[in-house]
Amino acid sequence: MTLKIDIEDDAGIAPYEQVRAQISEQARAGALPVGYRLPTVRGLAEELGLAANTVAKAYRALEADGVIETRGRNGTFVAAAGSAADREAASAAQAYAERVRRLGLSEAAALAAARDALRAAYGASG
């Protein structure tokens, strides 16, 4: 298995975001399994023809999202992102449930508000 990243100069999306999104998607899809060692920042930057700071920014964002983890001098690896994302989502959902209950919303109203927010975030209808 190898990391595959294609940077499109005319995509209208910042290169660091393209790197972040493609690594995240490959990790979540299982194309990059948990424990897969990613190239160094400098190595990936050279391979992609990007500045090292661009790749470093993508790696920082991925680490903040729980997709990758840096193990000091041992390198950067794909983390168990699904479980980290699931835990964070459950925590956010719990906080939301507590907040809307304090606000006095009914369960139906709270679900409708959450559904509307999800539709807006995902750009979906229905």
pLDDT per position as a tens digit, 21-44? 999 999 888 898 888 999 999 999
**CA-based R_g, the chain, Å:** 18
User: Angle, nearest 10°, between helix axes 41-48 and 52-64?
Assistant: 120
The whole-number pLDDT of residue 2 equals: 82
CA–CA separation, 18 vs 99, rounded Å? 35
- What pLDDT, on a 0 to 100 scale, did the predictor assign at position 30? 83
- Summarize pLDDT for 1-27 with one digit per residue, the tens: 689 999 998 888 999 999 999 999 998
State the chain's mean pLDDT as an integer. Answer: 89
Rounded mean pLDDT of 93-111?
93
What distance separates the 2 farthest-apart alpha carbons in the chain? 55
pLDDT at 99: 94
> What confidence score (pLDDT) does residue 124 get?
63
Q: How confident is the model at residue 77 (pLDDT cuts 50, 70, 90)?
A: very high
Per the CB < 8 A criterion, the answer to whether 38 and 78 are in contact is yes
Residue 69's SS3 state is strand
Measure the CA–CA gap between 113 and 107, rounded to whole angstroms. Answer: 10
Q: How far apart, in whole angstroms, are the C-alpha atoms of residue 91 and residue 113?
A: 18
Cα–Cα distance measured from residue 47 to residue 50, given in angstroms and rounded to the nearest whole number: 8
- The yes-or-no verdict on residue 125 having pLDDT over 70 is no
**Alpha-carbon span 59 to 61, nearest angstrom:** 5
Does 62 score more than 90 pLDDT?
Answer: yes
